[in-house]
Amino acid sequence: MKKLLLTLVGAGALLGAVYASASPEDDRVATVNYYKHKFPDVKFKDYIYGSLALDADAKAQYDSIMEFPPFETVVEQGKKMWETPFKNGKKYADCFANGGKGAAAMYPMFDDKKGEVVIFDEALNACRVANGEQPYDVGDAKTMGVLLSYARTLSDGYKVNTKINGAAAVAAYEDGKKTFYSRAGQLNFSCANCHQVDAGVRLRSELLSPHLGHTTHWPVFRGGDNLVTLQNRYVGCHKTVRHVPDKPGSVRYKNLEYFESYISNGLEMHASVFRK
């Protein structure tokens, strides 16, 4: 009963923050405190594991699989893409500070000149275009997805560091928050229904993951070899609730990633991991 009351108190604090005139940082702090009450035995740093942080047996299986990942060849393909020079002789590493190490941890970011959120996928495409190459389709797992499977590992161990500065950036964040908390589709579900209110609840054979840490580990390999990017996962979630999805890389989905990333500030990145 005491645990239930603490959870309800945490939920009330969080909902009060997200529906009142709260700042992004107010939201983030309220979210962290909410999960402290909801899952008092889970350490903050472990939210990068999603629902695995709530199931010791599942986490042990994950650790075993990650010793010899069945998708290593795909990540190696991504590494080859990253290291292969463009026609002008330059490489992806030339487009980012520190050769791309830690770059993904800075995204999404708000581009004041464009007046919109830019995700890491788009930064990679901007690099391609700047070097005379055609951009990839953000939703194409065989091109952008494979490239991301390696490029994002260059930020493993770096902490999520999403910035929100200025009224336009705050507006984009608020739009992403609105998407997260708005019900949609024939099932009338919001992201928050599954990944906040019912986080930790078992749906069929799987535990629903908390949204804290959601953006830290993409792309994932579901079932061992099915590569899924975060933008494609948003599409899949909307389809699941029978809602007509946007295309990957839409303004709505970029703003949603911006919101979720800011909420996960301070957590370590760990890309290209196994998920069921």
β-bridge mates for residue 159, sequence order: 268
**What pLDDT is stored for residue 20 in this prediction?**
57
Confidence (pLDDT) at 18: 54
Closest CA to 214 of 108, 136, 141, 103: 108
Higher pLDDT, 205 or 249: 249
| Beta carbons within 8 Å of 179's beta carbon, 6+ residues apart | 191, 252, 255, 256, 259
Answer for the pair 48, 213: CB distance below 8 angstroms, yes or no. yes
To the nearest whole number, what is the mean pLDDT of the chain?
93
Instruction: Indicate the pLDDT class of residue 224, thresholds 50, 70 and 90.
Output: confident
- Taking residue 22's Cβ as centre, other Cβ atoms within 10 Å add up to 17
Q: Reply yes or no on whether 127 is catalytic.
A: no
Q: pLDDT confidence of 161, banded at 50, 70, 90?
A: very high
Give the model's confidence band at 14: pLDDT under 50 very low, under 70 low, under 90 confident, else very high: low
Q: Say whether pLDDT at 11 is over 80.
A: no
Name the pTM for this structure: 0.92
Q: What is the mean pLDDT of residues 48-60?
A: 97
118-to-114, 125, 146, 258 alpha-carbon distances in Å: 9, 11, 19, 9
How do beta strands 220-222 and 273-275 pair?
Answer: parallel
> What is the pLDDT confidence band of residue 16, given thresholds at 50, 70 and 90?
very low
Q: What is the pLDDT of residue 6?
A: 43
pLDDT at 276: 86
User: Burial code of 161-199, b = ≥16 C-beta within 10 A, e = fewer?
Assistant: bbebeeeebeebbbbbbebbbeebbeeebbbbbbbbeeb
Per-residue pLDDT of 72-116, as tens digits, reads 999 999 999 999 999 999 999 999 999 999 999 999 999 999 999
pLDDT at 2 over 60: no
Cα separation, 265 vs 114, in Å, equals 24
pLDDT number for residue 9:
44
Mean pLDDT is lowest, of 48-57, 197-206, 212-221, for: 197-206
Token pair in block for residue 247: 């295309």
Instruction: Say how far apart CA 209 and CA 203 lie, in whole Å.
Output: 11
**Contact indicator for 117, 110 with CB cutoff of 8 Å:** yes
What is the structure's pLDDT at 13? 45
Please identify which of the residues 95, 191, 194, 237 carries the catalytic annotation. Answer: 237
Q: Residue 263 carries which side chain, given as an amino acid letter?
A: I
Residue 186 pLDDT more than 90?
yes
Domains within the chain, CATH numbers bracketed: 64-276 (1.10.760.10)
Q: Give tens-digit pLDDT for 225-275.
A: 899 999 999 999 999 999 999 999 999 999 999 999 999 999 999 999 999
Q: Flag whether pLDDT at 15 surpasses 70.
A: no
**148 alpha-carbon distance from chain centroid:** 13
